[in-house]
Structure 1
Amino acid sequence: MTDVIAQGSAPAAVGATKHATKVAAKRDELARAALRTLSELGYARTSLREIAANSEYSHGVLHYYFADRLELIAHCVHLYKSECIASYDDVLRADDDAESLRTRFAERLAATMEHDLATHKLWYDLRSQAMFETALIDDVRAIDGELEDMIRRVVARYAELAGAVPLLDSAGTYAALDGPFERAVRRRVRGDDRAATDLTAQVHALLGVLVVRPD
């Protein structure tokens, strides 16, 4: 009897898994469609209706997959940041040397800032809003944690290649590099053409002082 129940429930389980996969894919699709409007208008001025008016999807469809704009906005930024973090996977290479990694990472941060400026602007907007919107806290904390871990891996590898150790813990290292990155975003938003060049130089210099050689 138990075997019969198990066999009968298997198709249902497979069907539920397929449905969940389709729902997740649709949520990602809607989030990517909404990202342009969010990046242009920012958190405060964006509603589900505004997103619907600037995309091919109706307000009803958006509301079916997301409870409210907070959930959609958080999903948009989390999706992008996850993809952004994944884009740094090739920064670490097995046959690397310290200086090559240092240069490549500094250049990659600047290129990412330049290429995805609108989304980075939205991320910092959302992170600030999390101090006032409790519904955003968990998502922002999760994204911050992923970014911190990515930075930690790079700096730890650079320290290893340089025969050194990180000067700060992972939170301090993340803060040290996130500050110049956010400032570069703000400068570029204002039209400063030197923001990326300066960020590259700053990150390159920072990596040199964020590790110390043991006595």
Structure 2
Amino acid sequence: MVGAKNRLKDVTERSKAKVTKFEARRAKLADAALSTLSSLGYARTSLRDIAENTEFSHGVLRYYFDDKLDLIIQCIKQYKAVCVQRYDVATSTAETQDALLEGFLEQLSETLLTESHLHRLWYDLRSQALFEPALRDDVRKIDSDLEQMIWRVVKRYAELGDCSPKLTSSALYALFDGLFQAALAKVVAGEKAGALGLDKELRQLFPVIA
């Protein structure tokens, strides 16, 4: 009886290790594919295009991902998870409203200017979700994570000022996302002032919303 339990335990542990290794490989492949995807966009990129621009073969990509949608979703999930962590660090370490605002805006301006191609891919994917049912659940989950990230920033800002947010989390996210997307469009069009405009608008906005 004990021997059977031990064998079952060994099988379970090997199975978990195999899953972990598989997911780690998917993550590595997604990181490698992200540059090609962000350059060409959703509609213009195929798994074969990605294979031609990375060290991995088309067959390898097909083994680890069901299709292009599966790969793109993995890419965006990983990138947005990193984004959320950045802002959470700025939020958790700030001890005054000014410090929080400066840390948040610094991160926001940097990512807007240096990673505009990645944000462009996210908005492309979110638009495609209106037409691709297979994308909707994942896009909704990422949107939810971003909404909660914005809520944590604003809530902490309010707490540091001994007050409360004046809008719901969904309203705040729609507001921040709209301003960011408008600024991104300017940056992609070559207008570097887009980041400065976003910075100015958010400095005026924070005291109003909290």
> Which TM-score applies when normalising by structure 1?
0.94
Residue number in structure 2 paired with 1:164: 163
Contact 1:103/1:204, CA 8 A, preserved across alignment: no
Shift in Å, 1:160 = 1.1
Is 1:188 the equivalent of 2:195? no
SS class of match (1:165): coil
- Give the root-mean-square deviation of aligned CA atoms: 1.1
| Partner Cα separation in structure 2 for residue 42 and residue 209 of structure 1 | 36
Q: Does 1:55 align with 2:54?
A: yes
Once the two structures are superposed, residues 22-56 of structure 1 have per-residue CA deviations (whole angstroms, 9 ceiling, x without a partner) of 10110001101110110000000011111111111
User: Is 1:125 matched up with 2:124?
Assistant: yes
Q: Does 1:142 align with 2:133?
A: no
SS of corresponding position for 1:92: helix
Displacement, 1:94? 5.3
**Hey, what does 2:12 align to over in structure 1?**
13
Matches within 5 A, 1:85-96: 85-93=84-92, 96=95
Which one-letter code corresponds to 2:134 in the other structure?
A
Distance 2:92 2:140 in 1: 28
For 1:64, the aligned partner's letter is Y
Unaligned runs of 5+ in 2: none
Shift of 1:62: 0.3
Shift of 1:100: 1.7
Structure 2: how far apart are the matches of 1:4 and 1:93? 49
State the match for 2:202 in structure 1.
203
Higher helix share: 2
Matched-pair identity in %: 46
Describe how 1:35-54 pairs up with structure 2 within 5 A. 35-54=34-53
Pairwise CA distance, 1:198 = 1.2
With over 3 angstroms needed to count, the CA separation of the structure-2 counterparts of 1:175 and 1:95, relative to structure 1, is closer
By how many angstroms is 1:163 displaced? 2.0
- One-letter amino acid of the structure 1 residue matched with residue 40 of structure 2: L
CA offset at residue 103 of structure 1?
2.4
Distance, in Å, in 2 between the alignment partners of 1:27 and 1:94 is 32
Q: Distance in 2 between matches of 1:149 and 1:198?
A: 24
Alignment CA distance shift 1:42-1:157 (3 Å): same
**8 Å contact 2:47–2:67 — kept in the other structure?**
yes
Cα distance in 2 for partners of 1:50, 1:102 equals: 41
Query: Which whole-Å CA distance do the structure 2 matches of 1:54 and 1:94 have between them?
Result: 39
Which amino acid in the other structure matches residue 195 of structure 1? Answer: G
Report what 2:80 is aligned to. 81
Letter of the structure 2 residue corresponding to residue 154 of structure 1: V
In the TM superposition, residue 98 of structure 1 has moved relative to its aligned partner by: 1.3
